[in-house]
Structure 1
Amino acid sequence: MPRKLRLQRPDRAHLADFVAGLPQPASRLGLTHVTTGYLMREILDASKIWSPMDCPVLGEPLVYAFYGRAAFRSGRADVPSDLAFQFPAVLILDPDQTPAPKHVFGFDSGAFMDGRMDDYLDPHMPLFDFHLKPDVASAAALAAYFFETSEKFWKNQPNVNLEAPPSNFELDSYMRMVRAGPSSNRLDDRVSTPELIFDQAIDLVPAVRAAVLPDVLAGDPQIGGRLAASGILVREYEWQSLSRPAEYHMDIRKLIRGIYDTLGWSG
């Protein structure tokens, strides 16, 4: 059965209500927007993060970001390329300088709709029954509840002793996905990284505090140079021709973690 966005009834709020009752952590991490070097040029020319096309899941132009981690993977993540502009470029956003998101989910909504989480869902469970209150506070509280500390969140080490009320099916499913993620061959950190979706463009300044780029783009005056000239901290990873974008995921995560340390966002 194809996964649905909504059923023909009001969206359920069991998970959202639970998260709304959680305490806020003492500090928050930044937000990550994962794109490519090619689209980074478009962002620089517009001086804002914007969507060049409609989202294939929700059918409108949307900007996606993740809380803390850079969890997004493109459909070409495992395809070798000798074009540096096809490789990941990540912008680190100050959560206090972004507009209010339109949607927040506890996971990558695209991975959900692709069926990657189906082992932990009823066939009829729709995406929007997992919708959270659309603000950064929901994402921060959810991550803190399941991982307790930023260090455990980075290492994807959830608290395995949590339990959900039997009647809160959405929380039960989400909790089991988060627990299974570190040991599953089907799940990765997309299942436990909160996603924030914006229906308006995000200004490059003052929202973007840092960027992570392939070294050849970081050193280019028209890419890394323009970012640095806007007061944005630029960090680079060593890129090799005919490699795969997915090969740099952990290098990028280490650089982001260092950026959070520099910005005082590590918790």
Structure 2
Amino acid sequence: MKEFLEASNLEIAKEPPWTHSASCGYIWDYVEAEKILAFECRVFKPDNLCYFFVGRPAYKRNEIHSPGDWEYPLVFVMRFGIAPKIKRIFPFDSGAFVDQRFPTYLTMFDVNRFDISGDQRNIGRLISLVYKTPQLYFERRPVGQEELRREHELTPRHREIEAVAKLARENATPEMDDRAAAIEVSVGEDVPILPENLLGIVIPDQYELERELFDRLKQMTTFIETYRHLPSTLHGYHARIVDCVDRIYKRAGIVL
């Protein structure tokens, strides 16, 4: 897949900002360290990795039906002039792949065959291939199968590309959700939270009660979007945090 992207004449679409999702319980650790912290990865052991999704969050926790306040999603929206050193890039959540949350038409292949790292421009090429534009990627509106095959002259040897595009077209399920169609970037070190790199933060509204914490967050970024804490499953908050990220883009003048 990587070889196809790099040998193609695909337009290199503008790369959207990156998002890092975590449980709110980590917010004090991140603020104190002024870094997004890398943790030991259960998929690519023994690497310590910090994970991002390009453009929109794809919250990675397993479903919880009665989550505690500290388990709700927190999102950092980042835009780098010079990106941190990338370890791997996948067109989906690699953890969900390894956990067999995706259909067998994808997981029959080795996960490393989908790693497109080595050239960061492959993110833009992948967006152009499967979605055409960053906005359509953000909205999860991929191209149709026949259009993809016709425009790029795909043959049976391009089976990994067809599998990724099919996965993007599939309707979300409890097993797959939005992790099936979000580009994942992993970094092998802590990532400093610098004002020039931090676009905004998404956090539940009850954290506004933590005045000292919230004041620190406002020193870090102008754009803080909160969402209401209502009875819901953990995955029930996903659409809300995506809307919050979209509002941050609009407030910051980001056009995808």
Band of TM-score, shorter chain? 0.7 to 0.9
CA drift at 1:177: 1.6
| 1:43 corresponds to which of 30, 35, 38 | 30
- In the alignment, structure 1 residue 177 sits paired with structure 2 residue 167: yes
Q: Which residue of 2 aligns with 1:69?
A: 56
- In the alignment, structure 1 residue 128 sits paired with structure 2 residue 112: yes
- In the alignment, structure 1 residue 55 sits paired with structure 2 residue 41: yes
**TM-score, normalised by the number of residues in structure 1:** 0.84
Q: Which residue of 1 aligns with 2:140?
A: 156
State the SS of the aligned residue for 1:39. helix
Q: Name the CA distance, whole Å, in 2 between partners of 1:62 and 1:238.
A: 30
Q: Name the CA distance, whole Å, in 2 between partners of 1:79 and 1:214.
A: 17
CA drift at 1:239: 0.8
CA drift at 1:225: 1.9
**Is there any run of 5+ residues in structure 1 with no aligned partner, and where?**
1-14
- In the alignment, structure 1 residue 213 sits paired with structure 2 residue 203: yes
State the SS of the aligned residue for 1:79. coil
1:113-156 Cα distance to aligned partner (Å, 9 max, x none): 11122332363x21111110245422232123211233322332
- In the alignment, structure 1 residue 91 sits paired with structure 2 residue 62: no
State the SS of the aligned residue for 2:157. coil
- In the alignment, structure 1 residue 138 sits paired with structure 2 residue 119: no
State the SS of the aligned residue for 1:90. strand
Report if aligned partners of 1:218, 1:235 keep a CA contact under 8 Å in 2: no
The sequence identity of aligned pairs, in percent, is 23
Report if aligned partners of 1:73, 1:246 keep a CA contact under 8 Å in 2: no
- In the alignment, structure 1 residue 250 sits paired with structure 2 residue 235: no
Report if aligned partners of 2:75, 2:202 keep a CA contact under 8 Å in 1: yes
CA drift at 1:222: 3.4
Q: Name the CA distance, whole Å, in 2 between partners of 1:171 and 1:249.
A: 27
Q: Name the CA distance, whole Å, in 1 between partners of 2:24 and 2:107.
A: 38
Q: Name the CA distance, whole Å, in 1 between partners of 2:20 and 2:77.
A: 7
Q: Judging changes above 3 Å, is the alpha-carbon distance between structure 1 residues 17 and 209 closer, same or farther for their aligned structure 2 residues?
A: same
Q: Which residue of 2 aligns with 1:24?
A: 12
State the SS of the aligned residue for 2:121. helix
Give the 4+ runs in structure 1 shifted more than 6 A: none
1:40-95 Cα distance to aligned partner (Å, 9 max, x none): 111111011112x41110112100000011013202x33313x3221100000103
**Is there any run of 5+ residues in structure 2 with no aligned partner, and where?**
none
Q: Judging changes above 3 Å, is the alpha-carbon distance between structure 1 residues 99 and 232 closer, same or farther for their aligned structure 2 residues?
A: farther
Q: Which residue of 2 aligns with 1:6?
A: none
Q: Paired residues, what number? A: 246
One-letter code of the match for 1:170?
A: E
One-letter code of the match for 2:161?
A: L
Q: Which residue of 2 aligns with 1:10?
A: none
1:177-226 Cα distance to aligned partner (Å, 9 max, x none): 222x2366753321221100000111111322200000011442233321
Q: Judging changes above 3 Å, is the alpha-carbon distance between structure 1 residues 231 and 175 closer, same or farther for their aligned structure 2 residues?
A: closer
Q: Name the CA distance, whole Å, in 1 between partners of 2:244 and 2:28.
A: 21
Report if aligned partners of 2:205, 2:227 keep a CA contact under 8 Å in 1: yes
Q: Judging changes above 3 Å, is the alpha-carbon distance between structure 1 residues 141 and 28 closer, same or farther for their aligned structure 2 residues?
A: same
Q: Name the CA distance, whole Å, in 2 between partners of 1:244 and 1:68.
A: 23
Report if aligned partners of 1:100, 1:134 keep a CA contact under 8 Å in 2: no
One-letter code of the match for 1:200?
A: E
The farther-off stretch of 32-41 and 92-101 is 92-101
Cα RMSD after superposing both structures: 2.0
State the SS of the aligned residue for 2:66. coil
CA drift at 1:173: 1.8
Q: Which residue of 2 aligns with 1:5?
A: none
State the SS of the aligned residue for 1:168. helix
Report if aligned partners of 1:157, 1:182 keep a CA contact under 8 Å in 2: no
Q: Judging changes above 3 Å, is the alpha-carbon distance between structure 1 residues 182 and 134 closer, same or farther for their aligned structure 2 residues?
A: farther
